[in-house]
Amino acid sequence: MKYLNFKDEKVLLGYSTMLGSGNVLRITTIEGSFFARDEDPERLESVTGTFLVDKYPVTNCEIVQLMWDCIPMKPSFSDFVQKKLAEEWALRKKNSSRGEQCIAHDAAASSIFLFQAIKYANARSIREGLKPYYIITNTTETKQKIKHKGHYIIRYLDFKQNNDDYNIDVSVDNSSDGYRLPYYDEWMMLARGGEKRHIEAPWGNDTTFEEASKYAKFAAPLGEPVGQLQPNGYGLYDMFGLVEEHVLFEKIFQKRNPFEYQNNTPSCLKGGSNKTRKEDEEMPAEPHWTQISYGYRKSNYNGEAYAGFRLIRNIGNNAKWTEVKSESK
């Protein structure tokens, strides 16, 4: 993990709306359609706090070893996609030995649901004698949402079929010293790696695929190892490309979740993935590599998106954020 100690550190959050971001979108839901602006304007904030951050996304081996007892060898799911993913985890477990040492540059986990990432964070905290960050309880609520700051209703998707409620209640313990997912603004801060210029991505605004590929793996086969490319200014690898990463929204109706049409959505995915296309072909399911930027985001309205993740910890008290109003970017 990387140790990051900030004391009144100026960080640039958000992203530029000049190069294709900030569009007005037509959003269609069960309740009907409406228009919303997709933007998160750049702004400087001051942060004071100490973090431990995973240098790499969590790997398949780390998932298998820590969650060994949670992964059934013969999973049963009514949903085809969930069954297929569960069978892939069963196969990884079958091809592993319990207690084996994970290599640092194993393949990044790319088929984890939001609840599984939260469950893994708690298990990792317990393994290291830390207080778990997430409090998980059953619920009868049927809609995924942010109830209030630090309290979520998310889809109950695990390594095996759940016969209980459709959703699960997740709240945070602010006294915890354990592992957790980054919040949206934290991920943006970590992804920039201290960069304060008006650029769309670590490789700049105008560059080639070859130059971007020094920082991010695009159009690559699954199973690619972590940590093979250049790190950012904070020494973090694979913030872009390789796998999309689960990011929680901290609260609703505040700048911590700036998107009008996602104001009650618990999470989104950031960073793009190795499936991102090299050429701009007619494949709308995956973006062209030039569309990957600090502003790239995939919605996770009902918690069914599967992706990768990395974890962070606060050392000492929670970080303090202050908007910088009198200083130009």
Claim to verify: residue 193 and residue 317 sit in the same structural domain: yes
Question: What pLDDT, in 10s, does the model give residues 40-70?
Answer: 888 899 999 999 999 999 999 999 999 999 9
Domain end point (choices 121, 156, 172): 172
Instruction: Give me the pLDDT at residue 33, please.
Output: 60
Instruction: Give me the pLDDT at residue 28, please.
Output: 60
Check whether 30 has a pLDDT greater than 70.
no
Instruction: Give me the pLDDT at residue 329, please.
Output: 42
Claim to verify: residue 309 and residue 197 sit in the same structural domain: yes
- Which carries the bigger pLDDT value, residue 15 or residue 329? 15
Claim to verify: residue 211 and residue 239 sit in the same structural domain: yes
Q: Name which of 132, 329, 314, 104 is nearest 227 in CA terms.
A: 104
Claim to verify: residue 67 and residue 216 sit in the same structural domain: no
CB neighbour class for 243 (10 Å; exposed up to 12, middle 13-18, buried from 19): buried
Buried b (16+ CB within 10 A) or exposed e, 136-154: beebeeeebbbbeebebbb
Instruction: Give me the pLDDT at residue 166, please.
Output: 87
Question: What pLDDT, in 10s, does the model give residues 258-287?
Answer: 676 676 889 999 998 988 888 877 666 788
Residues in the chain: 329
Mean pLDDT of the chain: 88
| Longest Cα–Cα distance in the chain | 59
**144 with 300: CB under 8 angstroms?**
no
Claim to verify: residue 185 and residue 318 sit in the same structural domain: yes
Per the structure, the count of domains in the chain is 2
Domain end point (choices 108, 143, 172): 172
Residue 329 falls inside a structural domain: no
Question: What pLDDT, in 10s, does the model give residues 63-113?
Answer: 999 999 999 999 988 889 999 999 999 999 999 999 999 999 999 999 999
Instruction: Give me the pLDDT at residue 267, please.
Output: 93
Domain end point (choices 172, 199, 228): 172
Residue 328 falls inside a structural domain: no
Instruction: Give me the pLDDT at residue 220, please.
Output: 84
Rounded (to 5) percent helix, strand, coil in the chain? 20, 25, 55
Tell me the residue range of the domain where 289 lies.
Answer: 2-55+180-323
Claim: this prediction has a pTM higher than 0.85: yes
**Count of other CB atoms within 10 angstroms of residue 237:** 21
Could you tell me the pLDDT band of residue 21, with boundaries at 50, 70 and 90? very low
**Cα separation, 201 vs 15, whole angstroms:** 9
Question: What pLDDT, in 10s, does the model give residues 108-144?
Answer: 999 999 999 999 999 999 999 999 999 999 999 988 9
Instruction: Give me the pLDDT at residue 294, please.
Output: 92
Residue 83 falls inside a structural domain: yes
Could you tell me the pLDDT band of residue 316, with boundaries at 50, 70 and 90? confident
Residue 162 falls inside a structural domain: yes
